[in-house]
């Protein structure tokens, strides 16, 4: 029987049978005093993106069940092994990015089995909406943005757009679903949309720092969405002008060496403009990096440490 007007926290635990290692997800649930929609919030898909993790914790702590309509399910840290090892992007056990593991499968690698158990427990009962929180990983700085998936199904697209508009983040990067869901295993939010559940990825934070201003961007965004869905009362925080952007993608490194960016976040660049360079380990330039499009810089790798084919910059078209 469904519960009302209470809060629960639990450590969901499964076992990766090939090694016997545990798979753990910290999941908090706030059951509202009245009926309403279900919102699932997932922090720490990348375990060192702390601003999203902190926002998930804060929204769980501060949501009063007596004032909630519906149910809020918060996973504070999805990728616990990365969190515990201060590792960027990947699940340490198999070196896979969890954004390429959903919906997972039981006979897969550790990260794929993680996704399988998460998909079949926390995400099993169709939630009304899902927010996947990111926070810029250890080597990067980014302009807060939302990946707004465009499916071509008007009802779905309207729901995603409404939630994205409510989040109070400026850069709304509209991304075709084909870009997200080309492979059988993909991102959690992309595969949820394919399942018919409105979902979005939101980003604020970076460089392995817990910056409370960025955590607050996520906190305001999540609670704005809850207000928009009628789960809680209150006025939406609405302070930034929205920018309608179309996904282009990343410039990836092709050369062994060190990375020196010449551009800043939100900088507008022209096609073929030099945006940075790769130098050898003695300081000599090996390669100019140029922009493939006219667009706006949204992610800068701020660390000189770079491998092949890691991301140097991300940029998108501004409409």
Residues that bind Zn ion (CB under 5 A): 46, 49, 134
Q: Which is nearer to Zn ion, 211 or 294 (CB)?
A: 211
Instruction: Give least dist CB 164 to Zn ion, A.
Output: 17
Q: Can you list the pairs that 272-278 forms with residues at least 24 positions away whose Cβ atoms lie under 8 Å?
A: 275/251, 275/313, 276/312, 276/313, 278/253, 278/306
Instruction: Give least dist CB 49 to Zn ion, A.
Output: 5
Closest by CA to 183, choosing from 172, 197, 194, 198, is 194
Instruction: Give least dist CB 133 to Zn ion, A.
Output: 9
Measure CA 125 to chain center: 21
Instruction: Give least dist CB 141 to Zn ion, A.
Output: 13
Instruction: Give least dist CB 221 to Zn ion, A.
Output: 15
List alpha helices for the chain, DSSP H: 50-62, 80-85, 110-119, 154-166, 177-180, 188-194, 212-228
Instruction: Give least dist CB 305 to Zn ion, A.
Output: 18
CA distances from 285 to 16, 152, 262, 270, 291 (A): 46, 45, 13, 22, 17
Q: Which is nearer to Zn ion, 58 or 314 (CB)?
A: 314
Compute the distance between CA of residue 237 and CA of residue 157 in angstroms, rounded to an integer.
Answer: 23
Compute the distance between CA of residue 103 and CA of residue 156 in angstroms, rounded to an integer.
Answer: 20
Provide the pairing of β-strand 199-203 with 129-134.
parallel
Q: Which is nearer to Zn ion, 132 or 161 (CB)?
A: 132
Q: Which is nearer to Zn ion, 30 or 172 (CB)?
A: 172
Instruction: Give least dist CB 134 to Zn ion, A.
Output: 3
Residue 98 is classified by DSSP as G
The residue assigned the tokens 């499964």 is 14
CA angle 13, 17, 19 (to 5 degrees): 105
Q: Within 10 Å of residue 158's Cβ, how many Cβ atoms?
A: 11
Q: Which is nearer to Zn ion, 46 or 96 (CB)?
A: 46
Q: Which is nearer to Zn ion, 59 or 90 (CB)?
A: 90
Compute the distance between CA of residue 235 and CA of residue 228 in angstroms, rounded to an integer.
Answer: 9
Instruction: Give least dist CB 313 to Zn ion, A.
Output: 16
Q: Which is nearer to Zn ion, 56 or 229 (CB)?
A: 56
Compute the distance between CA of residue 124 and CA of residue 52 in angstroms, rounded to an integer.
Answer: 23
Q: What are the φ/ψ torsions at residue 99 (nearest 5 degrees)?
A: -75, -5
Q: Which is nearer to Zn ion, 204 or 269 (CB)?
A: 204
């Amino acid at each position: 029987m469904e519960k009302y007007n209470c809060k629960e926290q639990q450590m969901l635990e499964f076992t990766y049978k090939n090694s016997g290692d545990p798979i753990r997800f910290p999941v908090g649930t706030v059951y509202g005093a009245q009926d309403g929609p279900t919102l699932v919030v997932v922090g720490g898909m990348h375990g060192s993106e702390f601003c999203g993790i902190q926002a998930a914790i804060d929204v769980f702590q501060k949501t009063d069940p007596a004032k909630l309509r519906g149910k809020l399910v918060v996973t504070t840290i999805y990728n616990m092994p990365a969190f515990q090892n201060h590792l960027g992007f990947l699940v340490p056990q198999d070196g896979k990015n969890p954004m390429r593991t959903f919906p997972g499968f039981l006979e897969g690698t550790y990260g794929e089995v993680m996704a399988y158990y998460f998909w079949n427990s926390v995400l099993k009962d169709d939630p009304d909406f899902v927010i996947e929180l990111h926070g810029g990983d250890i080597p990067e700085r980014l302009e807060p943005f939302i990946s707004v998936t465009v499916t071509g199904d008007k009802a779905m697209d309207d729901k995603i757009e409404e939630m994205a508009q409510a989040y109070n983040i400026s850069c709304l990067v509209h991304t075709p679903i084909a870009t997200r869901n080309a492979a059988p295993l993909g991102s959690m939010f992309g595969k949820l949309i394919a399942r018919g559940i409105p979902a979005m990825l939101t980003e604020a934070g970076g460089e392995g720092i817990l910056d409370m201003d960025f955590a607050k961007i996520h906190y305001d965004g999540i609670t704005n969405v809850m207000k928009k869905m009628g789960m809680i009362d209150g006025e939406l925080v609405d302070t930034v002008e929205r920018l309608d952007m179309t996904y282009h993608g990343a410039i990836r490194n092709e050369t062994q060496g060190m990375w020196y960016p010449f551009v800043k976040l939100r900088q507008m660049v022209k096609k073929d403009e030099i945006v940075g360079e790769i130098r050898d380990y003695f300081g000599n330039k090996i390669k100019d990096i140029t922009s493939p499009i006219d667009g706006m810089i949204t992610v800068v790798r701020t660390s000189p440490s770079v491998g092949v084919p890691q991301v140097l910059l991300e940029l998108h078209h501004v409409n």
